[in-house]
Amino acid sequence: MKKPIVVALWSPHGAYSDYDLKKLGDPEGAWGKRDGVHTVARKGFAADSPEVGEWLKNFSMTEAQLTGLEARIRKAGKGKEQDAVRTWLKKNPALVEKWVPVTDSGQESRAAR
């Protein structure tokens, strides 16, 4: 008989891609407020590189996308992280296209090269 267990994991975490985990509620806020991921650049970066600045401004990933990427990196092991990311990107072409759109001529934009 399977018995439930409780673990304290942050989210996103690669384990959410590997196991059927359920998040418990936190009605009293014991774990604090949600955190976020933020882009930081030098002053004037977006003016100097408007295309890349726009990409960074619009960049987003769902929790499922991020946990899937984290799981792939963890499974790949030390020294193989870049290969894992490349494989994940190849399996998510629509997301890559959203992040780095290809122009109508089929050529990558200047900043994507």
DSSP string, 11-56: SS-THHHHS---PPP-TT-TT-S---------TTHHHHSHHHHHHH
> Would you call 44 exposed, middle or buried from its count of C-beta atoms within 10 A (0-12, 13-18, 19+)?
exposed
Residue 86: per-residue pLDDT: 95
Q: Of 4, 21, 3, 5, which is closest to residue 71 (Cα–Cα)?
A: 21
What's the one-letter identity of residue 112?
A: A
Residue 105: per-residue pLDDT: 56
Q: Does the pTM of the predicted model rise above 0.75? A: no
Q: In the predicted model, what is the mean pLDDT of residues 85-91?
A: 95
* Pair 70, 13: CB distance under 8 Å: yes
What is the pLDDT confidence band of residue 112, given thresholds at 50, 70 and 90?
Answer: very low
Residue 95, token pair as written in the block = 């997301």
The position carrying tokens 């970066």 is: 45
Q: pLDDT tens across 17-75, in order?
A: 888 888 888 899 888 887 777 889 999 999 999 988 988 888 889 888 988 899 899 99
Mean pLDDT comparison of 4-8, 13-17, 35-39, 91-95, highest-scoring range: 91-95
List beta partners, residue 102. Answer: 108
